[in-house]
C-alpha cells in the first residue's frame, strides 16, 4: 500500500523530514524513479556538491543538482499526456542509434518521460508524464492496473481450450503468466493483463500457435485510446487522471459507451 512505501522512503531525522534521493528526483519531475536511479548511478547527481549514491536520503535543506543544475525542492506542476504511439517508434527519451523515438514530437518539458513499455512493433495508447509518483502507481504490479490489447493473429480462430489456457496462465521462458482475460474479436482477440512481462501478449499467443500480426493497446486503467490517430497526442486533465486510476468509479453507461466505441473501431 502507499502508506507502506512512504514509511520506508520518508522519515523524520533530527526534526527534518528526509526521503530517498530517487523519490525526491521523481517528485520534482526530473524522471521516473527507475530513470532517476540510472542518473544517480551515472554520477550525474550531486548532493551538497558531492556525487550522490544510490539509496542516499536527503532533506529539503540539501542542495540537489542534476548535471550541475539545481533542483527545486518544491514539486513542479505535473503534466501528463496520452499518445497514440505509431508502429516502428521506440519508447525511450532518446535512441543512441538515431531511430524515431516517442519524445521526438512531444513538447520540450523537463522531466517528461514515457510510462512503461510498448515495444517497437506495437502501437496504441502510451502515457508520458513528468509525475514520477504516477509512473510508479501505473507500472508497479501491486497497484494492479489493467492493460487491454487488441491482437490480430495467424492460425485461425482460437479454440475454447486455447482461450482457457491463456487465461489460466501459460509457461514462458521467464515463468508462468498471471491469470488474464482473453476474448475473441474478429480475426484475433482482446487480451487484458495486469502484469507486464516484456512482449508478453506476443509471446503468449505465439506459444499457443497464434503469432501476432498486429498489436494495439486500447486501454490502460480507466483511460481509453478512443479517437486518437497514429502520432497524435493530447494532454490529460484532472478528470482524465481520475478516470485513469479509478476505473471502478466510472459510471456504467460511460464505460459501456467507451467500450462499444473501441469495439466499433477495432472489431
Measure the CA–CA gap between 81 and 75, rounded to whole angstroms.
18
Strand 80-85 relative to strand 113-114, pairing: unpaired
Q: Hey, which residues does 212 pair with through a beta bridge?
A: 153
Side-chain half-sphere of 166: how many Cα atoms within 13 Å?
Answer: 26
Q: Quick one: cell of 179?
A: 491469470
β 50-51/57-59 pair status: unpaired
Any idea which residues carry the catalytic annotation?
119
- Rounded to 5°, the CA angle 144-149-152 comes to 155
Cα–Cα dist 224/220, whole Å: 7
- Ramachandran assignment for 14, one of left (phi > 0), alpha (psi -120 to 50 degrees), beta (any other): left
User: Beta-carbon neighbour count of residue 175 at 10 Å?
Assistant: 9
Q: What is the DSSP string of 127-145?
A: EEES-HHHHHHHHSGGG--
Q: What stretch of H or E contains 232?
A: none
Q: Report helix angle 132-139 to 33-41, nearest 10.
A: 110
Q: What would you measure as the largest C-alpha separation in the chain, in angstroms?
A: 66
Cα angle at 60 between 55 and 61, to 5 degrees? Answer: 105
Amino acid at each position: 500500500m502507499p502508506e507502506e512505501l512512504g514509511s520506508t522512503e520518508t522519515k523524520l531525522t533530527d526534526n527534518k523530514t528526509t526521503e530517498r534521493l530517487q523519490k525526491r528526483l521523481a517528485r520534482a519531475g526530473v524522471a521516473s524513479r527507475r530513470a532517476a536511479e540510472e542518473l544517480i548511478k551515472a554520477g550525474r547527481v550531486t548532493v551538497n556538491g558531492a556525487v550522490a549514491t544510490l539509496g542516499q536520503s536527503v532533506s529539503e535543506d540539501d542542495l540537489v543538482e542534476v548535471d550541475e543544475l539545481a533542483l527545486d525542492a518544491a514539486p513542479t506542476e505535473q503534466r501528463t499526456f496520452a499518445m497514440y504511439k505509431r508502429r516502428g517508434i521506440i519508447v525511450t527519451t532518446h535512441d543512441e542509434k538515431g531511430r524515431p523515438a516517442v519524445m521526438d514530437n512531444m513538447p520540450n518539458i523537463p522531466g517528461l518521460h514515457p510510462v512503461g513499455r510498448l515495444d517497437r512493433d506495437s502501437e496504441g495508447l502510451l502515457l508520458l508524464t513528468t509525475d514520477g509518483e504516477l509512473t510508479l502507481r501505473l507500472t508497479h504490479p501491486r497497484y494492479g492496473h489493467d492493460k487491454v490489447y487488441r491482437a490480430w493473429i495467424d492460425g485461425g480462430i482460437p479454440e475454447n481450450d486455447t482461450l482457457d489456457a491463456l487465461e489460466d496462465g501459460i509457461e514462458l521462458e521467464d515463468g508462468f503468466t498471471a491469470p488474464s482475460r482473453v476474448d475473441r474479436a474478429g480475426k484475433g482477440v482482446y487480451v487484458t493483463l495486469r502484469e507486464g512481462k516484456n512482449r508478453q501478449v506476443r509471446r503468449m499467443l505465439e506459444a499457443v500457435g497464434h503469432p501476432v500480426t498486429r498489436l494495439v493497446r486500447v486501454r490502460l486503467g480507466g483511460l481509453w485510446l478512443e479517437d486518437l490517430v497514429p502520432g497524435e497526442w493530447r494532454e490529460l486533465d484532472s478528470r482524465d487522471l481520475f478516470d485513469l486510476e479509478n476505473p471502478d468509479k466510472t459510471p456504467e453507461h460511460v464505460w459501456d459507451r467507451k467500450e462499444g466505441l473501441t469495439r466499433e473501431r477495432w472489431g
